[in-house]
Amino acid sequence: MGTVSKSVLREIGANKTRAFSSFEDYLRILIADGTVKSTHDLVTRKPELLGQILFQWYQQGQIACVFAQVLAKAATPTWQSITIQGTVDVDELEKVLKDAAVNLDALQLIFPGPATAQHACDLIKSGSDEVKHTLMSAKLQTCKG
């Protein structure tokens, strides 16, 4: 990926700003180099690139989660991104989560498209007690019951 512009300016203190790349900045590079033609093309044909974009976004510090920032900047984090589209097979997701707990520092599940916190809650509630505990301990505190 080429040099990504930083079109987003954020105040980080009194009279201080910091520049960050936006999703559109990354997308422009991917379109310019012919990797994808549009956001839709990225999501449908090259969804694995969503995880790479988010990982680079974390590396530049454009996320409030300090854990994600530190891990993304580490020399060799074992970080996996999985893009999930359509219906989720809860049994398959449970296998992925169990494997990730043993073999990864971080697992990022990406659900492109319109979604709400309630969608995540419904997914969690449909899993086994072990999956519920794992996901709820990951600070998904918006789910009740």
pLDDT tens digit at each of 145 positions of the chain: 678 888 888 887 788 888 888 889 999 999 999 999 999 999 889 988 888 888 888 888 777 677 777 877 776 667 788 777 777 777 787 888 888 888 887 787 777 776 677 776 777 677 666 666 655 555 444 444 4
| Domains in the chain, number | 2
Residues 86 and 139 in one domain: yes
Q: Which domain holds residue 92?
A: 78-145
In this structure, what are the phi and psi dihedrals at residue 68, rounded to the nearest 5 degrees? Answer: -65, -40
Residues 82 and 144 in one domain: yes
119's CB contacts (< 8 A; 6+ apart) are 111
Last residue of a domain, one of 69, 90, 105: 69
pTM of the model: 0.63
Residues 94 and 51 in one domain: no
Whether the CB-CB separation of 9 and 19 falls below 8 Å is answered with yes
Residues 65 and 83 in one domain: no
